[in-house]
Structure 1
Amino acid sequence: MRADAARNLTAVLHAGARLLAEDPGTSLAAIAAAAGVDRTTVHRRFASREALLSGVFQAKLDSTERVLDEARLTEAPVPVALHRYLEGIIPVSREWPLDTRRMMQKDPQARARRQEQGARLDAFLRRAIEEGHLRADTDPAWARAVLDRLVDNAAHHFPDLSPPRAADLIARTLLHGLGSP
């Protein structure tokens, strides 16, 4: 792909993510205008709003995959891996603000990919419990729900909070709010 075409695609995906998160009915023409490209540029790549949504979700899943890989959830010490994950996932949540649940209902491949990513995070939280970083009686599903909510709040309700600072706050809240005394 040519450099200008790659830039245009990135601009369209980011504009689509932002505008569709605000209003799911946003037109492709409005997304093209926000991306600074011609409407035909968007239509050449995406035949419909659903196709664009799929592209946005794939980009979000790709970014999440990189964060999970770089966090080294199975190798790094739990507090280090948690902080790496948080520092990476907060910018991803901000960059791709669309809720993936919508896509999970329509795209079996995206759903399977998201479930695999979720399983990696669930295994990490079970490891945190087994190693004593979270109380032994902590329900892993509850820990996951709390973690997801903390990330969402930091990413979207505290936009001026830097990712490293947000990671510090979330890790402290998770590990000491649920952690061993």
Structure 2
Amino acid sequence: MTTDPPPPPSARADARRNRDAVIAAAMRVLSADPEASMREVADASGLTRTTVYRHFPSREELLRAIFELVAREADAAAREATAGDPGLEQVMRAVARNAVALGQRFRFLAGYDQTVLGEAALTAGDDPLLRWIEVAQARGETRAELPPAWQLRALRSLATGAIEAVLAEQLDAAEAQQLLAATLIAAFAAPSAGDRDDPAVR
């Protein structure tokens, strides 16, 4: 039994460029019209429809690729924010800034079903954030009574709420970032020695 030889590197590079061009075109087109058709995406990409459909046989496949891009960017942002185990305020401000920025950039995805990705992709960025929370808690920087997994879940929920407020035009991006960072810091910061003696802040 014979097998076809693998495509040469130049062909693989061309295929990758074409795929990236389709994704970039889809982001532009869908940002302007979330209901735009695959034909409109193909036209905007500058490629033939045959080429577009070779990479993305369906709209769902194209959306999955865009969601995967979101997941990669979210994971990279979380790793950068927690690199070197910085302090709580620095991390929470970075988390707030990155969450709102990503929410704005990919706002056209808000109406789509994100479950097409699967749980692993939907929790992008969780691993570095959870590791940072565990380290920060061990050094007494975050609340000892809140399990790290719970802190992470609460962080995700608050970030989602901030993004939704921006998309609904209830807050502008700067306000959302500031409020989200302040809320995260207040929610997770371990009380000072003086506060621990005050029942009102326990």
- Calculate the TM-score normalised by the size of structure 2: 0.64
* Pair 1:10 & 2:21 matched: no
Q: Distance in 2 between matches of 1:104 and 1:77?
A: 32
Q: Distance in 2 between matches of 1:18 and 1:139?
A: 42
SS at match of 1:158: helix
* Pair 1:70 & 2:84 matched: no
Larger Rg over CA atoms: 2
Count of residues in Structure 1 that have an aligned counterpart in Structure 2:
168
User: Who is 2:173 aligned against?
Assistant: 162
* Pair 1:52 & 2:66 matched: no
SS at match of 2:117: helix
- Return the letter of the residue paired with 2:180: I
User: Who is 2:147 aligned against?
Assistant: 139
* Pair 1:149 & 2:160 matched: no
- Return the letter of the residue paired with 2:23: L
* Structure 2 unaligned regions, length at least 5: 1-12, 196-202
Q: Distance in 2 between matches of 1:19 and 1:129?
A: 44
User: Who is 1:108 aligned against?
Assistant: none
- Residue 128 to residue 17, structure 1, CA distance change in 2 (3 Å): farther
SS at match of 2:141: coil
- Please tell me the root mean square deviation across aligned C-alpha atoms, in Å: 3.4
- Return the letter of the residue paired with 2:172: L
- Residue 139 to residue 156, structure 1, CA distance change in 2 (3 Å): same
- What's the offset of the Cα at 1:124? 1.7
After TM superposition, list the pairs within 5 Å mapping 1:22-41 onto structure 2.
27-29=37-39, 40=49
- Residue 122 to residue 11, structure 1, CA distance change in 2 (3 Å): same
SS at match of 2:86: coil
SS at match of 1:138: coil
Question: Which deviations, in whole Å up to 9, do the C-alpha atoms of 1:83-118 show, x marking residues without a partner?
Answer: 12321222112323446443116xxxxx2x655731
Question: Which deviations, in whole Å up to 9, do the C-alpha atoms of 1:33-77 show, x marking residues without a partner?
Answer: 8x6878826435411122202211221122113212321344322
Q: Distance in 1 between matches of 2:162 and 2:52?
A: 32
Q: Is the 8 A contact 1:19 1:31 kept in 2?
A: no
Q: State which drifts further: 37-46 or 88-97.
A: 37-46
- Residue 157 to residue 87, structure 1, CA distance change in 2 (3 Å): same
User: Who is 1:120 aligned against?
Assistant: 128
- Return the letter of the residue paired with 2:139: E
Q: Is the 8 A contact 1:94 1:155 kept in 2?
A: yes
- Residue 127 to residue 68, structure 1, CA distance change in 2 (3 Å): same
